[in-house]
Amino acid sequence: MALKHDGNPLGVLVADSNHMQVQLLTAALRRRPEFRVNACALELQAILGALVEHSADVVLMNAEQDVSVVRALHLAKPEVAQILLLQTADRDTTINAFRLGARGIFCFADSAFRLLCKCIQCVHHGEIWVNNRQLDYVMQAIAQVPSLRVVNSDGLALLTPREEQVVALAADGLSNRAIAHELGLTENTIKKYLFRIFDKLGVSSRVELVLYAVTRGSSMPAEWIPA
């Protein structure tokens, strides 16, 4: 039985915009004595109000249609663990979920209900809940190269996503060979990228490029870019 340290059942809040799904899920979870379950609408203010009223420890959110509430809740209540309930979790959805602040992803299409109960318990104890495929997505994202976004006076991007990666690595002091190794490209390809970048930005040397990037660039999170 999953109990809090004070011996009380674990507080679970279900937030969903689908009334029928809320009823079915809360009814199923309430059959488990280790949980104290309540539900609310999938709206930030409704969730915050329910957390105050019911002191939930874990929030289950069916937020596929509006993931912005996930980030908003994480910023408002970072101590509350969030689990996203999804139909499927592809690469982009998985990575975005954890960037927004989720601590677990649960797909009913892939897992039995009994595993949801284990998921809730694990996340409450500070663990991350993902399957092997989703973990691979996250590990790939961690290993990827961030970008350095450079814009003109109108705020429009001057470089392609790959060129932004090259600029970010050059600004970190990597040689052409090292940049090629990081991106899985040839050194000659990196030279061609740099020539195009010089032309677009109106610079003529690596030093000017780095200074330009430092003064006019903004760091971007790592993302997958096809080779």
Within-domain flag for 225: no
CATH code, domain carrying 174? 1.10.10.10
CA angle 220, 221, 225 (to 5 degrees): 95
Lookup result for tokens 């009823």: 23
74 and 174 in a common domain: no
96 lies in the same domain as 149: no
Q: Per residue of the chain (227 residues), give pLDDT as tens.
A: 555 655 689 999 999 888 888 899 999 999 999 999 999 999 999 999 999 999 899 999 987 767 788 989 998 999 999 999 988 888 888 888 887 889 999 998 788 888 999 999 999 999 999 999 998 888 776 665 666 677 666 777 788 888 888 888 888 788 899 888 888 889 999 999 999 999 998 888 888 888 877 776 555 554 445 44
Q: Is residue 21 part of a domain?
A: yes
Helix, strand, coil % in the chain, rounded to nearest 5 = 50, 15, 35
Residues 97, 89: contact at Cβ < 8 Å? yes
Final residue of a domain: which of 111, 141, 171?
141
Whether residue 114 is found in the same domain as residue 154: no
Instruction: Please report the pLDDT score of residue 5 as a whole number.
Output: 53
CATH number for the domain harbouring residue 92:
3.40.50.2300
Q: Do 160 and 193 belong together in one domain?
A: yes
Separation of alpha carbons 160 and 49, rounded Å: 44
Question: Against a cut of 0.95, is the pTM above it?
Answer: no
Same domain, 128 and 193: no
* Shared-domain flag, residues 134 and 208: no
Residues 121, 55: one domain?
yes
Give a yes or no: residue 2 inside a domain. no
**Same domain, residue pair 137 and 186:** no
Judge whether 3 lies within some domain: no
Residues in the chain: 227
Of 101, 119, 141, which one is at a domain's C-terminal end? 141
Domains in the chain, number: 2
Please identify, among 120, 141, 162, the residue that sits at the C-terminal boundary of a domain.
Answer: 141
| pLDDT number for residue 224 | 45
Give the whole-angstrom CA distance, residue 200 versus residue 173: 20
- Residues spanned by the domain of 46: 10-141
List all residues 6 or more positions away from 173 whose beta carbon is below 8 Å from its beta carbon.
none
Task: Please indicate, yes or no, whether residues 118 and 153 belong to a single structural domain of this protein.
Answer: no
Do 127 and 24 lie in one domain? The reply is: yes
State residue 162's pLDDT score: 87
Co-location of 17 and 101 in the same domain: yes
- Considering the domain architecture, whether residues 161 and 107 belong to the same structural domain is answered as no
